[in-house]
Structure 1
Amino acid sequence: MRDIYAIGDLQGCQTSFEQLLARLPQDADLWLAGDLVNRGPRSLDTLRQVIALGDRVTAVLGNHDLHLLAVAAGVRQAHGSDTLDDILNAPDRDALIDWVRHRPLAHFAHGHLMVHAGVLPQWDAAQVVTLARDVEQQLRGPAWKVFLSRMFGNQPDRWHDDLSDEDRQRLTINALTRMRFCTADGRIDFKIKEGANAATDELKPWFDTPGRRTAGVTVAFGHWSALGLVMRDNLLALDTGCVWGGQLTAVKLAISPAARELIQVDCPQIRDPFAFADDKTSNKVKKTREADDAPKAAKAAKSEKAEKAVKTVKVDRVGKVAARKLGKIRKVEKTGTSAKARKVEKRERAEKGAKRKGN
């Protein structure tokens, strides 16, 4: 079996992808965790390069990939932060869109399950694949545009066995491509986007929910750049924020976690991670930054005060030294003047004495 490397979100960062590929075996299989495009500067080039890699690549769909399909289908408006125009205006646009909509939503092989975001705790690996195949069939069918027009929304946000087809498909998409936090009974939270430390008593990172039925397989996923790299025996979080100036990550998959290989390349910052945050998140980040900066500001103020004090002492010292020098000069001048006066006086007395003798 050829080596398999699981790779985190590309998001149109083709240069970083090329650098990472240069460090991987040329015959290795590549599992891509979705979000191939968008927000990065070269979405079209990235997509074409992935397609050119042929059968070496298995790429699951991410939320940005589905967004591309929906915009191309005319059922969703483009966002101001999108970098999809080069794909949408490409001469081979239709072929590119067809390739994307034929990608899987989940991939399971060799004891590893890959999805873009996460899986609900009630699902085992076989059920994840079954639910994903149902959505994939719709995306690959002739009515894919109509299907996508009904697939965006936050409801239902909880798993039930008796959901309607449309609700089940929408929940499947949301779980596999958008989820970060959920409750133990499978209710998805769509608001919290911070890291795992934002968990509450009720809401946990999906992979930390008690009784998760996919705990027996290794799940590899991306989507959650605020989480960063996580490598556990049964978990690989691979989105390390390439587009935000982090790294692009690849992990060699292995039956034994000890046999894994981690490869990362540093990425230039293309986007500000706080530019897309909502007001609540921005304020929270601002307060955190202010709290972090407070000690630095106090230290800087203290340092500035100390520096001013040192300058004052230096000035005082310089002033005293200058005063002493000036005093010496004046003393010398005064001494010199007195000596000269005494010399003149002595000469005058001598002249007067000489005159008296002459008389």
Structure 2
Amino acid sequence: MTDYVVGDLQGCLDPLHKLLDRVQFEPTTDRLIATGDLINRGPQSLETLRFCMGLGSAFKTVLGNHDLHLLAIAHGIRKPTPKDTLDDILSASDRDELINWLQQQPLLLSIDQYTIVHAGIPPNWTMSTARTLAAEVEQVLKSDQALSYFQGMYGDQPNSWSGELSGQGRWRLITNYLTRMRYCTASGQLELQAKTAPQQKGEDLPAKFSPWFSHPARQTVDDKIIFGHWAALEGKYLGENLFPLDTGYVWGGAMRLMNLSTGGYTEQRP
């Protein structure tokens, strides 16, 4: 069996099919794993979700911020924005099945020597802490507290971790770290507005804020982390244990597939 990890699909199914054909993916023996954001912005959100769910045990994903946004809309907490491409899912005959399936997906996956997460892991958390806190939110999503979770999911505060946090604020911050984070301080204080690449972060972002993965004392520096979310990084090399897979297909870049057995990349461009 070969495990393949793909970056953010964002409703772009045709290039995924081309990638899987190129590596001769066979769902009876291989497995496809996604870094989250299966849907939204692209033209085939419904078809993408159906395809991924239809792979059964040959597919795994972590939840991304766009996936959680869809769930919040489906639960009546938010309205779609003009940029969203989710109407086909929300009006589909199998909507409930798709939404229920998506809501069961984790925020963090451990596959052999790799950890897969949508955005990243803050520098002040160990991998053990990240797994524990991700599992905490995953249990909330599967419980009768899920509606409360979605009601409190949106927002940028609190922006610094404390074990004393509880309820919606605690869940929100864990979620923001794992699904929205780009810049933070060494102590994990989040800055969630800047989306540009590090060399373009701008003079308005204080020097104490750096990419989450760049802090020298990061607790997970020896862990192999696969992540998506930050298309502006363009998949460039960040260090031997970091594997950025969101190369921005929906914005005109490539779609990147990683073979976990070899560490090699296959890319599909528009």
Q: Which is greater in Rg?
A: 1
In the other structure, the counterpart of 2:115 is: 113
Alignment of 1:1-359 (within 5 A): 2-24=1-23, 25-26=25-26, 27-199=29-201, 201-231=207-237, 232-254=239-261, 259-267=262-270
Alignment gaps of 5+ in structure 1 = 268-359
Contact 2:235 2:246 in 1 (8 A): yes
Contact 1:192 1:198 in 2 (8 A): no
Per the normalisation by structure 1, the TM-score is 0.71
If asked which structure has higher relative contact order (CA below 8 Å, sep 6+), I would say: 2
Identity %: 43
Distance of 1:235 and 1:154 partners within structure 2: 26
Alignment gaps of 5+ in structure 2 = none
Distance of 1:196 and 1:58 partners within structure 2: 30
Contact 1:229 1:238 in 2 (8 A): yes
Equivalent residue letter for 1:208: S
Deviations 1:72-131 (A, max 9, x none): 000012100111010000011100000000000111131211110011111111211111
Contact 2:63 2:107 in 1 (8 A): yes
More helix by percentage: 1
Deviations 1:176-220 (A, max 9, x none): 000001001110111111012135531111000121111111100
Distance of 2:259 and 2:236 partners within structure 1: 14
Q: Which runs of 4+ in 1 moved over 6 A?
A: none
Contact 2:9 2:37 in 1 (8 A): yes
How large is the RMSD of aligned CA atoms in angstroms?
Answer: 1.3
- Once the two structures are TM-superposed, the CA of residue 253 in structure 1 deviates from its matched residue by 1.7
Deviations 1:54-74 (A, max 9, x none): 111110000000000000000
- Once the two structures are TM-superposed, the CA of residue 142 in structure 1 deviates from its matched residue by 2.9
Distance of 2:225 and 2:60 partners within structure 1: 15
